[in-house]
């Protein structure tokens, strides 16, 4: 039996922790030999769970890069604007890389990463986990088998969810474009990439509309305070965006305070600790009085090489559930909610239901419908065998779908239809 592949995790937040959990469940296949994370609690949480020696618990990726190569691969799970430099550095050292999406916040930075990966000839995967989900595998097989003929159009909904929008994109790390990147790249490069993967042909033109509709100062409820913890009860109790509702009433009293997203607020996930974080930290701010500027609704229209079309709608104004998609073909159609697939045959007029046998709803809370585990399995398999063909989100595909995102955002800001070359 071969030795487990040796991994280094850079960034021990939610995504890094999720991938570390996969390793903990597959000790015969992978081992975490080092971590890098500036925050003591999150670094030591993974360090203790995986019995990582103190000398291999680093505060920065630079400390790891200063050592001669000592592992097979690095998992880069840091914030978006911190992806480029370590990716180029570790590629140059010969490490294989699994990089959290998006690749980087700018087209130029994405291209520099791609160039470094090609020069080094390493194995490289971007965490477009939707390509690895159970339902995606079923959908791809149905299309390959000719079940719906040729794809004519796709209609795809990314239901971000009202509380998820408030947590991540109003109060949280991805709220401000200058600090991270624009909403389409941060949240929906998954979805644009998935559409391109399903279409299996180049996108030639793209158009987008979107806005920050709700979470801005001029729409603040009358009488609202700057923090939910001190907001008048008659105002706070009627606000769906209330931090007290999202973190205390919807989660703490249901015994979910130790889980994401509450554990992002503070290491102390007791009711007292969470309330203190809401009183003093960024997640307790009024959602209408933050420094957010990313959109809360957006539509992207796409035209593909042979005349096929697709539309993606991203909205905050819904309950978070799995992505919902309709694929219209010349001989049939597919409708899926990230779990159940409904396949309609135009010849027989029959509709067949296919359960993709997952126990979750495909949302971020559930590991993206098996996508997180599928990604790790594929990446580790590539490392074990030296065969990169198991990786379904490599550098060329990812760069192409990222360019679609950059062009869509250009369209949204300029009001033009953008061509993609």
Half-sphere exposure for 268 (CA within 13 Å, toward CB):
9
Asked whether residue 91 falls in the same domain as residue 34, the answer is yes
Asked whether residue 192 falls in the same domain as residue 180, the answer is yes
Asked whether residue 169 falls in the same domain as residue 317, the answer is yes
Asked whether residue 241 falls in the same domain as residue 263, the answer is yes
Question: Residue 370 has what pLDDT?
Answer: 80
What are the pLDDT digits (tens) for 316-365?
999 877 899 999 999 999 999 988 999 999 999 999 999 986 555 444 44
Asked whether residue 98 falls in the same domain as residue 204, the answer is no
Q: What is the pTM of this model?
A: 0.93
What are the pLDDT digits (tens) for 164-189?
999 999 999 999 999 999 999 999 99
Number of domains in the chain: 3
Question: Residue 368 has what pLDDT?
Answer: 59
Asked whether residue 187 falls in the same domain as residue 306, the answer is yes
Structural domain contains residue 69:
yes
Average confidence (pLDDT) per 10 residues, the chain, 421 residues: 91 93 95 97 96 98 98 97 97 98 97 98 97 93 97 97 96 94 96 98 98 98 97 97 95 76 90 95 98 98 97 94 93 95 97 79 52 94 96 96 98 97 82
Which of 89, 122, 155 terminates a domain? The answer is: 122
Q: What is the CATH number of the domain that holds 297?
A: 3.30.360.10
Structural domain contains residue 343:
yes
Structural domain contains residue 385:
no
Question: Residue 210 has what pLDDT?
Answer: 98
Which of 122, 150, 180 terminates a domain? The answer is: 122
Structural domain contains residue 47:
yes
Asked whether residue 101 falls in the same domain as residue 19, the answer is yes
Asked whether residue 211 falls in the same domain as residue 225, the answer is no
Asked whether residue 228 falls in the same domain as residue 330, the answer is no
Asked whether residue 340 falls in the same domain as residue 408, the answer is yes
Structural domain contains residue 388:
no
Asked whether residue 397 falls in the same domain as residue 313, the answer is yes
Which of 284, 304, 329 terminates a domain? The answer is: 284
Question: Residue 255 has what pLDDT?
Answer: 74
Asked whether residue 180 falls in the same domain as residue 296, the answer is yes
Domain enclosing residue 242, as ranges: 217-284
Question: Residue 304 has what pLDDT?
Answer: 98
Structural domain contains residue 387:
no
H/E/C letters for each residue in the chain?
CCCCEEEEEECCCHHHHHHHHHHHHCCCCEEEEEEECCCHHHHHHHHHHCCCCHHHEECCHHHHHCCCCCCCEEEECCCHHHCHHHHHHHHHCCCEEEECCCCCCCHHHHHHHHHHHHHHCCCEEECCHHHHCHHHHHHHHHHHCCCCCCEEEEEEEEECCHHHHHHHHHCCCCCCCCCCCCHHHHHHHHHHHHHHHHHCCCEEEEEEEEECCCCCHHHCCCCCCCEHHHCCHHHHCCCCCCHHHHHHHCCHHHCCCCCCCHHHHCCCCCHHHHHHHHHHCHHHECCCCCCCCCCCEEEEEEEECCCCEEEEEEECCCCCCCCEEEEEECCEEEEECCCEEEEEECCCCEEEEEECCCCCCCCHHHCCCCHHHHHHHHHHHHHHHCCHHHCCCCHHHHHHHHHHHHHHHHHHHHCCCEECC
Structural domain contains residue 46:
yes
Structural domain contains residue 354:
yes
């Amino acid at each position: 039996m071969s030795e487990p592949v040796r991994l280094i995790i850079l960034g021990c937040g939610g995504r890094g922790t999720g991938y570390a959990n996969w390793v903990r469940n597959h000790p015969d296949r992978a081992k975490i030999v080092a971590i890098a994370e500036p925050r003591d609690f999150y670094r030591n949480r993974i360090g203790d769970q995986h019995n990582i020696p103190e000398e291999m618990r680093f505060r920065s990726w630079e400390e790891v890069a200063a050592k001669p190569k000592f592992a097979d691969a690095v998992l880069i799970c840091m914030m978006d604007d911190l992806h480029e430099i370590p990716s180029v550095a570790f590629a140059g050292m010969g490490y294989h890389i699994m990089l959290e999406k998006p690749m980087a916040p700018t087209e130029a930075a994405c291209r520099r990463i791609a160039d470094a990966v090609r020069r080094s000839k390493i194995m490289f995967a971007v965490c477009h986990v939707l390509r690895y989900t159970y339902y995606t595998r079923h959908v791809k097989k149905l299309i390959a088998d000719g079940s719906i003929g040729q794809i004519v159009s796709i209609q795809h909904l990314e239901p971000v969810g009202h509380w998820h929008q408030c947590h991540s994109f109003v109060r949280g790390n991805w709220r401000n474009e200058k600090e991270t990147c624009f909403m389409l790249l941060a949240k929906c490069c998954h979805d644009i990439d998935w559409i391109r993967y399903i279409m299996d042909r180049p996108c030639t033109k793209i158009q987008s509309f979107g806005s920050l509709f709700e979470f801005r100062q001029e729409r603040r409820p009358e009488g609202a305070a700057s923090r939910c913890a001190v907001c008048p009860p008659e105002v706070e109790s009627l606000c769906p965006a209330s931090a007290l509702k999202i973190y205390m009433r919807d989660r703490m009293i249901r015994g979910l305070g130790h889980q994401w997203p509450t554990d992002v607020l503070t290491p102390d996930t007791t009711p007292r600790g969470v309330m203190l974080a809401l009183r003093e930290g960024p997640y307790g701010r009024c959602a209408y009085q933050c420094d957010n500027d990313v959109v809360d609704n957006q539509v992207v229209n796409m035209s593909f090489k042979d005349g096929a079309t697709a539309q993606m709608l991203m909205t905050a104004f819904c309950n978070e559930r799995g992505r919902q998609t309709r694929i219209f073909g010349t001989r049939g159609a597919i409708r899926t909610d990230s779990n159940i697939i409904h396949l309609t045959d135009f010849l027989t007029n029959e509709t067949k239901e296919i359960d993709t046998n997952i126990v979750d709803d495909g949302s971020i809370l559930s590991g993206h419908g098996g996508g997180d585990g599928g990604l790790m399995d594929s990446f580790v398999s590539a490392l074990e065998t030296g065969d990169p063909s198991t990786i379904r989100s490599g550098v060329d595909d990812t760069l192409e779908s990222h360019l679609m995102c950059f062009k869509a955002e250009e369209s949204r800001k300029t009001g033009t239809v953008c061509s993609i070359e």
